[in-house]
Chains A and B, each alone.
Chain A
Amino acid sequence: MPASLVDADSLLAVDVGTVTTRATFFDVVEGHYRFIACGQAPSTAAAPFKDISEGVRQAIVNLQTITGRKFLADDHRLIVPTQEGTGVDAFAATLSAGPAIKTAIVGLLSEVSVESTQRLARTTYARVVDTIGLNDPRKPDQQIDAILRLRPDLVLIAGGTDEGATRSVERLIETVGLACYLIPESKRPAVLFAGNASMSDKVKANLQHLVSSLYISPNLRPSLEVENLGPAQHTLAEVFTQIRRGQIAGIDEINAWAGNTLMPTAFAEGRIIRFLSQVYNSSKGILGVDLGASAAIVAAAFGSQLAMGVYPQLGLGEGLSSLLRYISVEDITKWLPLDLPAESVRDYLFQKSVYPFTLPAAVEDLAIEQAVARQALYVALNSAAKDFPRNVRRPVPGLMPFFEPILAGGSVITRAPTLGQSLLILLDGIQPIGITTLILDQNNLLPALGAAAARNSILPIQVLESGAFLGLATVVAPYVNARPGTVILQARLMHENGTETHLEVKQGTLEIIPLATGEAGRLYIQPLHHTDVGFGPGRSRSDGIPVSGTAMGVVIDARGRPLLIPSDPARRREAVKKWLWTVGG
């Protein structure tokens, strides 16, 4: 089939989240792919359904109502391919619903294979319950008992460089095999081996009959100096689907509709971020963040290199009751514009964990929810940043690298009552540096585009350029070591119509220069006191920086990096209120 015909296929993409299932339809309009509409319904992965297909069908039925197009036949099956104006040519599916995958890590050296395996586990919805390695002081029988007690859904094994250690890896495999033998057959874990390639046959011979499913992928540490997570990450996405098939009904059916390409939502998001980084070939990284009920996801791509972090413990759903193991109450209350006691925050976290699908109707609830979102995003990003390549551009070590653009998803951000609130959550949680564009994925399109990218590389690009995403703000976030109140830069925005806006920016302030969507201009910045806006200390572009209009315009965030927050609670609340007022409330 000619590529042009493949490219002209319509696509229905379904994303099954913990709370919401979304069905998104893309079609060709006037020769270009467009996002047409999105239907949504409550997810049905949990009881009483325990079957994702009901929620998927409901979401598609809602999409049918919106578009007037029929996708489901009378017997509730998907009509594929298109038949006389009904149905769809292609179907893709992504999944994040379900409890975090209980994962045991098995490797040799803690700073080599164990560390790489932990990094691999962080690329999916995994909760590491135990780590077994050469430095583990426990005896093999104690390790066996630990696996029996913890009953992992997944064991990730690595270790040994290619053509390297075999005997130590053999011992570890023997331990895993013995533990699996002792677990009732219906509850045995899946195993992914990504170690010494020469051990593959031995691993198969020893484990194949003792585990629920065995996957072998290329060594994630082929040599001590090289880490190659990509292939194992791809296999891990398959393992995730396989494990979920055993936990939740309906996955086989939806996977069959998708031609066996159903993938974890986070994997699809990572894929699209890397894809965009390669396509746009930016000198900066591209960052994607998604704050959902099941996890906080960070995907940062620098050319072809992707750093992924999936943090189920920072998700805003049922995991919230254990959030305080990772974040202190004070780190949440510091973002509150209201004087609320710590108990209110604690009560909120526990109540929301029991009812993850609920929404903040009261002002106080919304303030807490957004405060939690800021801190969860901040912690997720700073955890993920440890895995960013060391050679990426950043003003000083320890601070965020330069990104352009930053794409953000998750209802708490994209469905905030005002765009100013969305903006502040992102500025406070990410604390970007330099000049960047914040883009909101209000229709949760990124997973769909990631799932589609494998079979249709034109669709994601055309949809991204079609205005389906909301340009939220062009952000200028200077880095400088200056006292609050010091003038750190002069900014001049020259509009297309010739009008100019001048601004003197002081350290510690947040300023906005309106530039509406559809307008364009050039931004001239004169940094003072060695201020770095991404061109080096004290430098800028003499011909100005071309800027496109966005919902919030040009935002100059000179509040400091890291963000300077007053330590006195009353002054802090005043500052948060002032920032909120600056962005329109």
Chain B
Amino acid sequence: MLAPVTHILPLTTVRRERLLPVPGHLIARMEQKVAPLDVVADANFGQEHILFDVAQLLHVTPEVAKNMIQCKVGDTVAASQVIAQNKGLIPQVVKAPSPGKVILVGGGQVLLEIGETTIELHAGMPGVVTRLIAERGVEITFSGALVQGVWGNGRVDTGLILPLMEKPEDSLTSAMMDVSQRGSIILAGYCNDPAALQTAAELPARGLVLGSISPVLLPQAAQLPFPVMVIDGFVQNPLNSTAYKLLTTNAKREVTINAEAFDRYSGTRPELFISLPVTQEPPATREVETFAPNQSVRLVRAPHAGAVGTLLNLRPGQSVMPSGLRVPAAEVKLDSGEQVIVPLANLEVLG
């Protein structure tokens, strides 16, 4: 059976495409080494439009209005610049309310684009540009440690990771934080305390990595000015032991969080990167797995959500769960030493 895969790896190579939402131009070059906040491409994008129905405004037919329009496609216009004018005894004019660019002219109408802004596409991860995608973006290749999560607030930043937990089951409270953590990326277990998020914002921290979070706090976490990434989900459980070991052994190292939203269809998900020196490129992540004995697996539903273990064997036929459901299942030895029977559907391969 095909198995979903989540990457929590101490050393791997990953390739990620970074793409603009609209066509633009590339700034990065092939083989360029990039930092997470480097701009690799940008695009100009008008946020708003104004449609002038000149014919209607000047009370003439579209055919007549055509001759009154005093701009053409591509023109840049200043605020109060005349767009169209009726040259009668008492001239009537149509003026641009704000600076903009003429996008379309026709049928006695003018479409003006205003509020142009530049969208900057950040690398989002440390690495090397290994492919240029014309007008859209780049592919970046990274080697080092990788931790994937299930929820992110869309922000990117880099900083030193600082565990605020002695055990994987420790919850984050505001009392744990003080000014010494300013500018660091805080690692903690479960969070259901709005004051803790508020304190992290006030420090300010540079990022927050949580094992799990109460769904009630998601709107607040989404608004925080730094990246927030949740690794295991939304049920109060200890941070999974694989991520705990990897992240605590890298305490005070520089990490990057790209807290992209989780999207099953596009494949984007929040990721944490730790650059590590390598002499040769480590093996790439394996995206496709089928369940097999000796795999490291994570349990994603109750009663052991977030627990990590080793898949011992796939049970023949169907097994009866405490809920009464009969499902294909596997025997898993948890890192705690406990041996449990889990529906295959509730497992994902860590690799």
Contact = CB atoms under 8 A, between A and B. Distances in A.
Given A361-B301, A361-B303, A364-B302, 14 more contacts: A46-B265, A47-B264, A47-B266, A184-B23, A343-B214, A347-B214, A350-B218, A350-B233, A351-B235, A358-B300, A361-B302, A363-B323, A365-B302, A365-B323
Interface stretch (B8-16, B47-55, B86-94): B47-55
A277 B323 CA distance: 37
B104 interface: yes
B84 interface: no
A170 to B, nearest CB: 10
Contacts of B234: 346-347, 350-351, 354
Contacts of A98: 265
Contact of B346 (A45, A145, A343, A361): A361
A245 to B, nearest CB: 14
A408 to B, nearest CB: 18
Interface stretch (A64-72, A136-144, A266-274, A491-499): A136-144
A182 interface: yes
Interface string A126-156: 0000000000000111001100100000000
A452 B47 CA distance: 48
Ranked nearest first, the 3 interchain pairs of A and B with the lowest CB-CB distance are A47-B267, A417-B324, A366-B323
Nearest to B324: A417
Contacts of B266: 47
A182 B103 contact: yes
A360 B301 contact: yes
Interface of A: 41-42, 44-50, 55, 58, 98-99, 139-141, 144-145, 148, 174, 178, 181-182, 184, 247-248, 318, 321, 343, 346-352, 354-366, 415, 417-418
Contacts of A184: 22-23
B218 to A, nearest CB: 8
A449 to B, nearest CB: 26
B134 interface: no
Contacts of A181: 104
Nearest to B319: A361
16 contacts: A47-B265, A50-B265, A148-B49, A178-B111, A247-B265, A248-B265, A346-B214, A350-B233, A351-B234, A354-B300, A357-B4, A358-B300, A358-B346, A363-B323, A366-B323, A417-B325
Contacts of A174: 107
B284 interface: no
A359 B325 contact: yes
A171 B323 CA distance: 58
Contact of B267 (A50, A139, A140, A365): A50
A141 to B, nearest CB: 4
Contact of B343 (A247, A347, A356, A361): A361
A357 B287 CA distance: 17
A349 B267 CA distance: 21
A141 B323 contact: no
A364 B301 CA distance: 11
A280 to B, nearest CB: 34
Contacts of B305: 351
A48 B22 CA distance: 24
A363 B5 CA distance: 26
Interface residues of B, number: 50
A351 B49 CA distance: 41
B267 A351 contact: no
B215 A321 contact: yes
Contacts of B303: 361-362
A58 B49 contact: no
B317 interface: no
Interface in B213-231: 214-216, 218
B244 interface: no
Contact of A358 (B23, B150, B326, B343): B343
B51 A140 contact: yes
B278 interface: no
Nearest to A178: B111
Nearest to B302: A362
Nearest to A355: B300
Contacts of B216: 343, 346
A417 B1 CA distance: 22
A160 B265 CA distance: 38
B251 interface: no
B2 A42 contact: yes
Interface string B20-42: 00110000000000000000000
Interface core residue of B2, B151, B234, B262 (most chain A CB under 10 Å): B234
B345 interface: yes
Given A141-B50, A350-B233, A361-B302, A417 B326 contact: yes
B100 to A, nearest CB: 11
Contact of B324 (A139, A247, A348, A418): A418
B343 A141 contact: no
B78 interface: no
A16 to B, nearest CB: 13
Nearest to B286: A48
B161 interface: no
Given A350-B233, A366-B323, A366-B325, A359 B48 contact: no
B58 interface: no
A361 B265 contact: no
Contact of A178 (B104, B214, B215): B104
A358 B215 contact: no
Interface in B297-329: 300-303, 305, 321-327
B146 interface: no
Nearest to A149: B47
B288 interface: yes
B65 interface: no
A415 B267 CA distance: 29
B300 A182 contact: no
A360 B107 CA distance: 61
A139 B301 contact: no
A45 B265 CA distance: 7
Interface core residue of A58, A182, A248, A352 (most chain B CB under 10 Å): A182
